[in-house]
Amino acid sequence: MTRLDKVTRVAEIAEKRTEAATHKLAERVRGVTSGEAQLVELNRFRNEYPNPAGVDVAIAELINRHRFLGRVDEAIAFQRSEVQRQQRLLLLEQQNYGRVRAKSRALDTAVQRIGKDESRRRERFEQSLLDERAQRIDSHWDAAANDGFDE
């Protein structure tokens, strides 16, 4: 196995890792987007929840409303912390993607460079064979020509 084959295999593995990192990053983005949408929806619900008006509102109804809104506020606080957690994970995933992608690009560059080097080396070798063959033919012709003039 040539050096180029080895580096190409490593580059292919790096490309697969880059694809996996891309999918993970997309999942994280969807997670953050979904969490943010849920948070917006909870806040909208909290702000639009009917406020009892009038003097005839029973104390029990006010207590129930207060408890219910307390649970909604807890849900909002939980969702806010969940969005923050998802955002931190997204940042880590973005950093990981950047590292994986940079490594993949470096390997792609190495594959190209090694491929060019091997191609140049092969061309020089082939040229040296052609030069050697041409030199042998010239030597043969020179020797044959000299044999004819020695008489």
The pLDDT tens digits along the chain (151 residues) read 888 889 999 999 999 999 999 999 999 999 999 999 999 999 999 999 887 766 577 888 888 989 999 999 999 999 999 999 999 999 999 999 999 999 999 999 999 999 999 999 999 999 999 999 988 887 877 777 676 555 5
Cα separation of the two ends of the chain: 57
User: In the chain, how many domains are there?
Assistant: 1
**Token representation of residue 137:** 């033919």
How many other β-carbons are positioned within 10 Å of the β-carbon of residue 20?
12
CB of 40 within 8 A of CB of 81?
Answer: no
For residue 52, tell me if it sits in a domain: yes
For residue 132, tell me if it sits in a domain: no
For residue 87, tell me if it sits in a domain: yes
- Name the residue with tokens 């044959």: 144
For residue 16, tell me if it sits in a domain: yes
pLDDT value of position 121: 92
Per-position b or e across 108-142, b if 16+ CB within 10 A of its CB: eebbeebeeeeeeeeeeeeeeeeeeeeeeeeeeee
**Segment holding 39, helix H or strand E:** helix 3-48
For residue 144, tell me if it sits in a domain: no
What does each C-alpha distance from 125 to 34, 120, 122, 128, 140 come to in angstroms? 61, 9, 5, 5, 22
Query: Which CATH number is 67's domain given?
Result: 1.10.287.1700
For residue 25, tell me if it sits in a domain: yes
For residue 70, tell me if it sits in a domain: yes
For residue 139, tell me if it sits in a domain: no
**Is the pTM higher than 0.85?**
no
- Could you list the residue range(s) of the whole structural domain that residue 46 is in? 3-120
